[in-house]
Structure 1
Amino acid sequence: MPTSFRPELLTTTVAVVAVGVATAYYFYVAKKSKSKGCLDPDNFKEFKLVKRTQVSHNVAKFRFSLPTPTSILGLPIGQHMSCRGKDSQGEDVVKPYTPTTLDTDVGYFELVIKMYPQGRMSHHFREMREGDYLAVKGPKGRFKYEPNEVEAFGMLAGGTGITPMFQVARAILENPVDRTNVHLIYANVTYEDILLKEELDSLATTFPTRFSIYYVLNQPPEEWDGGVGFVTEEMIRLHCPAPSPNVRILRCGPPPMNKAMAAYLNTIGYTSQMQFQF
């Protein structure tokens, strides 16, 4: 029997095995995800709300169950779905939303919803309770993504526009064969308005060399080390990858922000092929 033992060898072996197991699991789930999902692009289908978690005074996370514990929603990366509900007058209303979950999250999907006082669909979500059903149709959207199609993404998000960005970033970073880097600028009015902050910070901690995030607040707290005001051309130059055929810039936010960002991107030199607006 050997008389000495090298702990570092065991540590390396365990790490390699862990990565191998994680990679095998990812591809197993990814393979299942290519099977038919639960969404129907032409007809609304109803899904049961099984958990509602209040995140702040006007933001909640809604978890909906799929037909079986191994069912997948069937939503391509970066696409959205139409949700139907009733406004305060009892009239039907339909609005697009992007889940924060992926098809690797089997058996359920989640929506993070900011409920505005006068929002018609906001009223429906505000009234929803566990056990209620949500009518959903999809997938919808022009965005198509293949792993490693670009070297880096720059992302410009404002308010609830973070949800498609979070979905794309998660899909990239959790794929063991995707080496794409992600640089996100996320703008809000106040600190309390920042959606998915814990999840975003976790991505930055877990993937420090591949994911960076720069928060911008119009009304920051007293001690704040992020950006102040609105997203500027200089912020984009500092925190997003420079224009290149191997770079793509995604943007999603309120119409005034989208318009301003498009003008900045054009000035910096990003071609129309390098840009996509959700």
Structure 2
Amino acid sequence: MPPFPNTGRSQRVFSATRAAPGVAGLLAGACIAAYFLYPDQSRSAPTSQDAPLSPTHFTPATLVSSETCNHDTKLMKLNIPRHLIPADGSLHGCRPIWSIFVKDDDIQVERPYTPLEGIDEEGNMLLWVKAYPKGEVGRWLHSKRPNEQIEIRGPLKTWLWNEHEWDEVVMISGGTGITPFYQLFHSVIRPAYPTSKTRFTLLHSSRTSSDLPPPVMMHQLTDYAEKHSDRFRLGLFVDSNDGSAAVASRNTFSEGRINLEAVRKYIESDTPQTWWNRAFGSSKPAVSPQRRILFLVCGPEPMISAIAGPYGRNFSQGPVGGILAELGCTSAQVRKL
């Protein structure tokens, strides 16, 4: 799946710097025409008023509320009628991470968003939406008012959860890339306690403390981490602390980016250290191929590249790079969302 939550398919940029002005104008016109006329899933999928929510068509949803969190994010609640909730149970219970696509009706473009708490029995979904300067759908969503209609399609499953596959799951996110991990927290991590044996770690980075997730998310995460540190660990990182975050005094908060030392600290905290390793370090990789640990990474592409290496062609996983490659992770131990 493309990077969450406000990026979809990559945009192609045509360069005609050496073309004559007239030729460049014709080519630019052709590109614009191709963009709007070339068949595209988001523009060709029909809208259904009566069929249950599905990836094959758009379903009208009603914007229930839109709450400003900071200068560029909003917490938005959508609702679909109860009879449009899929009856197969695919949206309830412990499930994989999933998302929906939201369509900008003005320019017929869609982008993926992850419902923070899935969908409840009343058909409500909560989205944390950032309006990027060049993000068409995010800015369009920010302009919508309660009771207006918004077309969505889905669910689209992103990652399958298997309780017995991993001993440890480390989630690393930046910005609104935390949304799939919060959904996993809500649907798997918290409900499965104390029966699950898997240990989870969430390392999240924001530019400033005011850019951290809204209190409705942060309170749940920090409270759970304090009460169940044996099962869930939380590390919050900001490039600069503007003093606006209530969590600034907690031991989960650090100033600085998620770097090699920060990740190593969390994944080695339970590994017995000999006096030799403490004094001189170890030449062995921190993550052996036999270790049943999985890293899930989601956020802006530069951050994903720095942590896990860039995506491959057409948003395929590509080889492991960045920090996780330095730690010795294999491709089987890393998933870029």
With the shorter chain as reference, the TM-score category is 0.7 to 0.9
SS of alignment partner, residue 161 of structure 1: helix
* Secondary structure of the corresponding residue to residue 307 of structure 2: helix
Determine helix, strand or coil for the equivalent of 1:80.
Answer: strand
For the residues of structure 1 that align with 2:143 and 2:90, how far apart are their CA atoms? 27
The match for 2:71 among 57, 60, 68 is: 57
State the SS of the aligned residue for 2:61: strand
Q: What corresponds to 2:99 in structure 1?
A: 80
Q: Secondary structure at the match of 2:97?
A: coil
1:129 maps to 145
RMSD over equivalenced CA pairs, Å: 2.5
Out of 236-245 and 163-172, give the one that drifted further: 236-245
SS at match of 1:99: coil
User: Given that residues 184 and 240 in structure 1 are in contact (C-alpha distance below 8 angstroms), is that contact kept between their aligned partners in structure 2?
Assistant: no
Structure exhibiting the larger radius of gyration computed from Cα positions: 2
Deviations 1:159-218 (A, max 9, x none): 010001111122222124333211111011100111132332233234332111111111
Return the letter of the residue paired with 1:54: T
TM-score relative to the length of structure 2: 0.64
Structure 1 position 254 matched with structure 2 position 300? yes
Listed one character per residue, the Cα deviations across residues 104-156 of structure 1 (whole Å, up to 9, x for unaligned) are x3221111112223321122111111111221112224411123431211111
Q: Which moved further from structure 2: 45-54 or 70-79?
A: 70-79
Question: TM (normalized to structure 1)?
Answer: 0.77
Q: Which moved more, 1:50-59 or 1:188-197?
A: 50-59
Match of 2:113 in 1: 97
Deviations 1:28-86 (A, max 9, x none): xxxxxxxxx94301111111112222222322211122322994684442122211114
* Residue 183 (1) aligns with residue 224 (2): no
Distance in 1 between the 2:65 and 2:158 partners?
30
| Structure 1 residues 1-278: aligned runs within 5 Å | 38-68=52-82, 71=85, 74-75=90-91, 76-86=95-105, 90-103=106-119, 105-107=120-122, 108-170=124-186, 171-176=188-193, 177-195=195-213, 196-221=217-242, 226-240=253-267, 243=287, 244-262=290-308, 263-278=322-337
SS at match of 2:110: strand
* Equivalences, count: 238
Question: Does structure 2 retain, via aligned residues, the 8 Å contact 1:70–1:106?
Answer: no
Report the identity percentage.
24
What is the DSSP-based 3-state SS (H/G/I as helix, E as strand, rest coil) of the residue aligned with 1:131?
coil
